[in-house]
Structure 1
């Protein structure tokens, strides 16, 4: 017997996050390109980000046929949030008048790289990166390296850099509730044994 699911946040109705999801406006337009394997992930943070931002869009796929139209948004400069040798720091984009269309691939690093490989137009976009040293609140899995953030955390950091002094911290409320719920479901003892810092 399956549990009734909230059609908006895709969580079980008993753990619906909608009351915690804000409705934040941003000058920056956020385009989230989500790998299909992430859709049913328990911690679908890209969906939380898209629901919490009025100027955001979430598209699921591996190959994006309508990418030219998605990237050609009048009044916006498209930038890919992804590391690379020629990536500019996010702060460099904050100083300009023209707002960004921030393109954010959502998936494991391997799957995100595959999405770039399958979509040459995406791979060709100028890249931007976040400041180093970001610490993830994602306490349920070990980060692959320092500064590895969940999708929603990366978006919050990017927007707070681009649109300072505006705070986008309310986007993290449903994310934190989700993590607290997962910890509660596994029990404190299991969490301490498997996830707490040694």
Structure 2
């Protein structure tokens, strides 16, 4: 059986290419995504959509990152015990955020990335406000406020840069989800994910 042809940019099957929906957004904050190798193989790889849609975003694949550029303007998006809520930051504190490091993986894999990289442990941590709800309707999450990497980035940038323009990143995300629901069929979706 021949493999399905894939778009070289978004890595989706050509019949489900999302490129026409992916924006090209500028941001003041640089986004550095550290992706656990297991995530790269997932069909619903939202980190890839973030990198394609943000001009100042890049992705590093691996478990250890000894050469990360870390300076005083670098923050880690992670809900550790000392993390500050993004909603609590003053304008001056928001302006101080120059680079945001985001861990991409299950919670277990994200904690492993943090554990394996002591430089990350030393960074000031920022967390999303409580009550954020995911639009990721085809995934069972361990917690109701568990978000995809893309959703977390959109919320974080929207709060740091005080702009709603990052919502445009969710257009291809919604199309991706709708495509998955259509592929599984309404009955299967309702049985496994419906309310």
Same fold (TM > 0.5)? yes
CA distance in 2, matches of 1:166, 1:14: 30
Report 1:73-152 matches (<5 A).
77-93=73-89, 95-96=91-92, 97-152=95-150
- The alignment status of 1:37 with 2:42, answered yes or no, reads no
**How far does the alpha carbon of each residue in 1:58-88 deviate from its partner, in whole angstroms, 9 at most, with x for none?**
1111111312xx224xxx6111000111101
How far residue 161 of structure 1 moved from its aligned partner, in angstroms, is 0.5
Contact 2:75 2:97 (C-alpha < 8 Å) held by counterparts: no
Unaligned runs of 5+ in 1: none
Matches of 1:94 and 1:15 in 2, distance apart?
42
Shift of 1:141: 1.6
1:77-124 deviation per Cα after TM superposition (whole angstroms, max 9, x unaligned): 111000111101113445123342110000000001111111110121
Moved over 6 A (4+): none
Secondary structure of the 1:168 match is: helix
CA change 1:93–1:77 in 2 (3 A) is farther
TM-score by length of 1: 0.93
Q: Output the CA distance in 1 between the equivalents of 2:117 and 2:134.
A: 28
TM-score of the superposition, structure 2-length normalised?
Answer: 0.94
Query: 1:185/1:94 Cα in 2 relative to 1: closer, same or farther (>3 Å)?
Result: farther
Moved more, 178-187 or 135-144: 135-144
Please say if residues 94 and 162 of structure 1, whose CA atoms lie closer than 8 Å, have aligned partners that are also in contact: no
Is this contact kept in 2: 1:23–1:52, CA < 8 A? yes
Alignment deviations for residues 9-67 of structure 1 (CA, whole Å, 9 cap, x no partner) = 11111111111110001111100000111111011001100110001111111111312
Distance 2:85 2:187 in 1: 41
Work out whether residues 24 and 54 of structure 2, in 8 Å CA contact, stay in contact via their aligned partners in 1. Answer: yes
SS in 2 for 1:71: coil
Whole-angstrom distance in 2 between the partners of 1:187 and 1:102: 38
